[in-house]
Amino acid sequence: MQPKIGAYRDVPDFIYGITREIWEDRGIGGKLDRYYAPDILLRAPTGLTTSNHGVTAQTLQTLHQFPDRQLVGEDVIWADGGDGSFLSSHRLISVMRHTGDGSHGPASGRVVRSRIIADCFVLDTVVTEEWLVRDQAAFARCIGLTPRDLARQMAEQDVRSLGKVEFFLPEHDRPGRYQPRIAETPETDIVIAGYRRLWQAKETAALRDLYFHGAAMATPGGETANGHGDIDRFYLGYLAAFPDAEFALHSAIINRDPDQPPRIALRWSLRGTHSGFGHFGPPTGAPVFIMGMSHIHLVQGQIRQEWVLTDEVAIWKQIIAHQESRAGA
């Protein structure tokens, strides 16, 4: 039995509900004051936000560019902390029309669809920490840009307004109350071991053990990989670009609900050097940090469906910042 949370019947209903209250119902600042801690730590590939006021400002900027934004919730995977806290991982699709000028450039009038995964640490019904990854590569393609073009445009805006290109690195972080949770179950053990073989050991043969032969993987840029060949190409595009990348696992939670396969949410990262030809063009030597999120359906010990999310625009921003710094040296 899931706990009732205020007016909401359970944790997924709470997450879906407060998202609607803030965005579609236009609660914005008032609802953020209710549901977000004043000193919230919101970590995204684009940077660290350390206050509720900062989250409100970002929300208003987004709504100016996309006033009809709808957040279509796909799933919430969560874990009870046993002390009045829980960790939720919310996968959703943002559907909206680009009608306002802003960080994504002049209004294009185009419809944008992009996936988001948001992990929230909630204590006594208040979000105190959040990790948020948006598929900005899908944003870019929907408005007629490449992810690299959008990254350059956003980097130039950062320099004009902040004097530097902004993105998140672990050394920018601040300590919070959340303690990492790595679920130890037969299912999560299978997935974590497979991820370590793929991302850390660079052993792409592991995907034939980890993935069902007809598995479908939603990948950054609004793309889908189908079957072992496609999935192999996805991994190789990253591994070849960052061959020295170190893999770290930060969270692993699992839900088993009636009439559904085990559903696993992972939060992970890669840190390495852009030293090879791969998904991000010719090598530049840029140091890169990648925040990753995954939702996984496991059937008979193999992944049947997966949603993998990174912010490729933020990756490009780090590469561009490195190139600009070398050019100006």
> Which tokens go with 141?
């393609």
d(CA 251, CA 272): 20
| Predicted local distance difference test score (pLDDT) of residue 181 | 87
**Percent of the chain whose predicted confidence (pLDDT) is above 70:** 98
Task: Give the bridge partners for 246, in sequence order.
Answer: 271
Common-topology check for domains 11-172 and 186-328:
yes
Report the pLDDT averaged over residues 131-160.
95
Q: In what order do the strands lie in the sheet with 263-273?
A: 223-226, 211-219, 302-309, 287-299, 263-273, 246-255
Widest Cα–Cα separation across the chain = 60
pLDDT (tens digit per residue) in 217-245? 999 999 999 999 999 999 999 999 999 99
| Predicted local distance difference test score (pLDDT) of residue 158 | 93
pTM, entire model: 0.95
| Predicted local distance difference test score (pLDDT) of residue 23 | 85
pLDDT (tens digit per residue) in 287-319? 999 999 999 999 999 999 999 999 999 999 999
Which architecture, in CATH terms, is 186-328? Roll (3.10)
CATH match of 11-172 with 3.10.450.50:
yes
pLDDT (tens digit per residue) in 161-211? 999 999 999 999 999 999 888 999 999 999 999 999 999 999 999 999 999
Domain ranges of the chain: 11-172, 186-328
**How many other CB atoms sit within 10 Å of the CB of residue 228?**
16
> Which tokens go with 65?
């560019």
